[in-house]
Every structure is written in C-alpha cells, then in structure tokens.
Structure 1
C-alpha cells in the first residue's frame, strides 16, 4: 500500500555520529551500517522518507567513503549522499563519522539523534 506524503509530514534534519574501531573498509562499513540502521529504526523511517545524508569523517578515516557504504544499505541507492572531511580539532573523537540527514518525518514522530559507540560522548543527552 502506497503511503501518501501530505501535511502530516515535515522536512526535518537529524544529526548523529558513531566511531569506527579502525581505518579499514570493514571497520568503517560496520560503523556506517549500524549508524544508518539506528537512524532508520529510532525515527521510524522508510527509504522514501530519506531525502539526503551528509557524512563527515575525521582525517584518520580514509580507507573508503561512508556514502558508498550507505548507498548499498537498506536499498538506499536513490538517496542523495555527500562525503566531507570533518574539520580538524585537536582532542576530537578518533575514527568519527558524523551524519546530518534530511528526512520527511511524520509530524507526531519525535526526533531521535543517534550517537553511538565512542561518539556518544559528543552528545550524552542523545544516546
């Protein structure tokens, strides 16, 4: 059954972050898949509700592009993705992947920003 987008939905931005356990394709993939899965499940999203996701990664992550992994997750090949390097700040969280997702969210649905693994210390109020 096709769900109609109507006035019950609003464009919302959801932030989140996680950390990879290291700088390998497999370690980055594990972190990105978990983060996307949590973004979708915590916010009751469908792939039609995801408009775009911007990823940033700290400079110690260069084995692959997080967006290329997300494109293969959950049938999200039609979502607009962008990868950027996170601004370097000393004492930042290592191996950190941040997201800002633009979504269509049902107006009654509260926003849940997923902060996982080592990134949970960035926003302890959002874990």
Structure 2
C-alpha cells in the first residue's frame, strides 16, 4: 500500500470555486500517476476552516469510478499564519512499490512541499531478515 499527497487552493468559498479546484487537482492526480480509483483503499480530504461551501468528497464522488471509494472530509487544524482556502488530500492505494508517485500541489499550495515537486520512488523492500532488524 502506498500514500499519495496533494493540495490546492481556491479563490473563494463557493461551490463553483471548490468544484473547479477539486476537479483540477484530481485530474492532475490521475493523469500524472496513471491511477485507477479501483486501486484506492481510501481518500481523506481536509479543508481549512474558511471553506465550508461543499464537501470535497461530494465533488470527487461525481468522477467516473470514484463513487465506490471510501472518502472522508475533515477540517484542517487552524494554525495562525497558515495557508488560506486550502484543500488537501491523502490517498492510500494499492500500487507497485517501484512505481514513482507524483504528489500533486497546485496553485498557492505548490509552496507547501516544493521538495515533492519531483516523482517520489522508493526502493523495493528487502526480504532478508537482517534488513528488518
């Protein structure tokens, strides 16, 4: 099982603005990672406390094959000075361990994790007992 992170921001707290941002984020996620929602174990969306027009999961459920994915929406902890109007996701999926993952950070959220602007790949886990000690 692998985890994929991503985030974006919206211009205003409206259904239309959130719909546009979530769809753009998930389009980029699917396109850059060649993902199939059937491989998803779960998706968690978080939003900052200044976003309450619609649940991101309600938007995602309208996408092809996303209607059967377990999803949860939560409110991001408020920290003074943190990024405003931000939508984040954490996806757990069954993916090959050697498959590079592209974490998706768009709009103003691109500054959250500039170190993840390149695909993340991890070596295959070792099967030897010594490597697990």
Displacement over 2 Å in runs of 4+: none
Question: Structure 1 regions of 5+ residues with no counterpart?
Answer: 1-10
Aligned to 2:52: 62
Aligned to 1:35: 25
Give 1 or 2: higher strand fraction: 1
Superposition pairs of residues 10-89 of structure 1, within 5 angstroms = 11-89=1-79
User: Given the two structures, how large is their TM-score scaled by the length of structure 2?
Assistant: 0.84
1:27-81 CA-to-partner distances (Å, cap 9, x unmatched) read: 0011111111111122111121122110000000000101100111233000010
The higher-RCO structure (CA 8 Å, 6+ apart) is 1
1:123 aligned onto 2:76 = no
* Higher Cα radius of gyration: 2
Deviation, 1:126, is 2.2
User: Given the two structures, how large is their TM-score scaled by the length of structure 1?
Assistant: 0.87
Deviation, 1:107, is 3.0
Q: How many residues align?
A: 117
Which moved further from structure 2: 31-40 or 92-101?
31-40
